[in-house]
Amino acid sequence: MSEVEEIMKRILSHKGVEGVIIANTEGIILRSTLEDQSTVHHVALVQPLLMKAKKIVQDMDPEDELTYVRLRTEKNEEIIAADKDYFMISIQTPSL
Amino acid sequence: MREHFLLRTLKMFADEALDPVTVASVWRKAQQGAQHSRGCQTPAVLSDHAGVQTRFTASSSTQTEPQEQNLQEGGLGGPDPPGLVDFLKRVEDPVTKELEKNSRSHAFDGYQANWEEGSDHVSLLHSLQHPGAEESGLHVSAVSWSCTGSVIVCAYGRTDDGDWTHQKSCVCLWNLDRRRLRPKQADLVLEVPAAVTSVCCHPERPALIAGGLYNGEVVVWDTSRTQDPVLAQTGMSADSHREPVYQVVWVPLQKKGDFGVLSSSSGGEVLLWLVDPDQGRLVLNAAYAFVRQQLPHSSSLKSRGSSRVGVSALALSPWDADTFLVGSEGGLLLRCSFSCGPPAAVAPEGRSVAPRAPARFCFRPAGGPVHSLHCSPFHRYRLPPPQTAAVLTRYDPTRLRRNLFISAGTDGEVRLGSLLQADPLLAVRVSDSYVFQAQWSPSRPLVFAAATGQGEVQIFDLARKSLRPAATIRDGAADRTATCLAFNGADPRLLAAGRSDGTVGVWLLSSDLTEQRAEESLRLEQIANQVAE
């Protein structure tokens, strides 16, 4: 099993995690545990938000860097970790 | 685009065989001079794509080549792009930390985002009047909403004088869901031979209305009958009240779906009637009489005057079918039971059913006549934790529903009490004059409204720190008392208030008074637990 799969499995094993999506900054999906159509939909919606968030951080303080974007809804929370080339979305249901 | 156009024009110039027809022009050749073409230039056509919208699409057929199946589990195939592994290695630890923190976090407990636009104000929707009642100078003595929430029933009578007038009055119904609602004209007017003191709509059948009259009669109307809406009445029999009926309430009976009418009067009785539609009569099922000597001794009363205790207010407990609350003209507040009780120490008076004395517990008396009682419709009893459940199988008085109730009377205060203790938990100063009616909101456990003698309806919110009213509804002159009010059970944003000038106002409450917030039930419990046992 490649390293990528190992890491993804480890993340999935955490409590409440429902899915993991890895894509590159242009929006091309690399790995995903959800089914294709919803993954495409998800990435297409999240990617502009991520770009905007990056821009906000850069504009506010050029020396600062975006680490995560967390989107919390009534049903679950998504942690989006990004860097220059790739980003990863982890979807977790909080344990309330 | 341009190539396409050129191709089409070229096609137009394809060879075709046609019979040539030529008609030579004679004069033109002569007139035509020499013509030279120098050059032509057209500026570039600027084109920009503004937008395209398809109104409808139709797909006739498509064909795709079969795709290669993904062999890798959960992945999208293909080799890992460079740097992906490094990225993941870098990101994995922080993300894991966040995920674990998240699973343990309580940061958002009880937080509920509300994206709906709420209204900020309380606004008057309709002002309903019945010209006939206004001419006779009748006040609105009671309002009640039907169980569906679309019809409002207004009863007219007098709330101030106490003589046996033979004044005819009426009960008017307006259907607020009708498009052409005519505020000056009721949809249905029921003529009544005496002043009506109280009405109550049936909790399940929207056509039935029970009413109590000033001459002691109790009537049930059926508005679905066209001929004669009176379905049943007590008539002036030996069973009926001799004094004016103060309040009527529909009571659920043993058999599910059956309801009886409970009526209270200033003569000191509370009677339970069953509806007999065939004979058109209300049949007495049970009678309860209040005699001063038989009241529980936990109250200090001066036994002066007649021994009868006139009942002025009645309330049912929504959680305990056996309990009901009674308020008297002398300010007494009693908790009573339907089923158990010794026979009442009164002369039989020719009643068909022997009366019982139902009072079980006496709360601290109010300073004046109690006009209104209402039990909180929100469940307040919490089950004990499982490990002590075995111990509580024997009868334990604390298992009685610790229901909260409010009482309002002429002392200008609304008191919040618990069914288990004699002293009130909280007394809220509502106005300087009488309070005619107080009712809990059906949607927010901490909100109640009170109709005052100064013409205002005050709405209080116990979630607020201060005890000043959350909203005040003032409609017109201050010398018109607000005599009655009713929350709409089906649509909790509507509140109807009747006044002594004969008008009924239907008000739309703001969203902060109607939408339940998180932990309100908890706060209600805290208030009820204030005086620990």
ipTM: 0.81
Q: C-alpha angle with apex B310: B306 to B312, nearest 5 degrees? A: 160
Report which secondary-structure segment, H or E, holds B101.
helix B84-104
Instruction: Kindly determine whether residue B81 and residue A24, on different chains, have CB atoms separated by under 8 Å.
Output: yes
Dihedral of alpha carbons B2, B8, B9, B13, sign: positive
How many residue pairs bridge chain A and chain B with CB atoms within 8 Å of each other?
A: 92
CA distance B246 to B328: 10
CA distance B217 to B169: 14
Q: C-alpha angle with apex B66: B65 to B69, nearest 5 degrees? A: 145
Instruction: State phi, psi for B418 to the nearest 5 degrees.
Output: -110, 150
CA dihedral defined by B256, B259, B264, B268, rounded to 10 degrees? -60
Alpha-carbon separation of residue B516 from B444, B447, B528 (angstroms): 5, 10, 18
Contacts of B90 in chain A (CB under 8 A): 83
B332 close to B365: Cβ distance less than 8 angstroms: yes
* Other beta carbons within 10 Å of B414: 26
Contacts of A2 in chain B (CB under 8 A): 80
**Which ranges of B254-382 does DSSP label H, i.e. alpha helix?**
none
Contacts of B99 in chain A (CB under 8 A): 11, 14-17, 79, 90, 92
Query: Of B85, B96, B104, which is closest to A4 when you measure between CB atoms?
Result: B85
Contacts of A75 in chain B (CB under 8 A): none
Instruction: State phi, psi for B457 to the nearest 5 degrees.
Output: -110, 120
Q: Rounded to a whole number, what is the distance in Å from the CA of A52 to chain B's nearest CA?
A: 20
CA distance B24 to B119: 85
Residues ≥6 apart with Cβ < 8 Å to B17:
none
Instruction: Kindly determine whether residue A11 and residue B96, on different chains, have CB atoms separated by under 8 Å.
Output: yes
Q: Rounded to a whole number, what is the distance in Å from the CA of A73 to chain B's nearest CA?
A: 9
Contacts of A16 in chain B (CB under 8 A): 99, 102-103
- Name the residue among A19, A13, A10, A8 with its Cα closest to residue A77: A19
pLDDT one digit per residue (tens) for chain B, 533 residues: 677 666 666 666 777 787 888 887 777 666 666 677 788 888 888 888 888 888 888 888 888 877 765 444 444 556 677 788 888 888 888 888 888 888 787 777 767 666 666 566 778 888 888 887 777 778 888 899 988 888 889 988 876 665 556 678 888 888 888 777 787 888 888 888 888 888 999 988 888 899 988 888 888 988 888 778 888 888 777 777 888 888 899 988 887 778 888 888 888 888 888 888 788 888 888 888 887 777 775 444 555 555 777 888 888 887 777 888 888 888 888 888 888 777 777 766 667 777 788 888 888 888 788 888 888 877 554 444 444 434 433 443 444 445 788 888 888 888 888 887 888 888 888 888 888 888 888 888 788 888 888 878 888 888 777 777 878 877 766 667 888 888 888 888 888 888 888 888 888 888 777 777 666 767 777 777 665 33
Q: Rounded to a whole number, what is the distance in Å from the CA of B193 to chain A's nearest CA?
A: 58
Chain A residue with minimum CA distance to B91: A81
Instruction: Kindly determine whether residue B88 and residue A22, on different chains, have CB atoms separated by under 8 Å.
Output: yes
pTM: 0.63
**Interface probe, candidates A6, A10, A11, A69, chain B, greatest B C-beta count within 10 A:** A11
By CB atoms closer than 10 A (0-12, 13-18, 19+), residue A96 is exposed
Instruction: Kindly determine whether residue B103 and residue A92, on different chains, have CB atoms separated by under 8 Å.
Output: yes
CA distance B414 to B408: 5
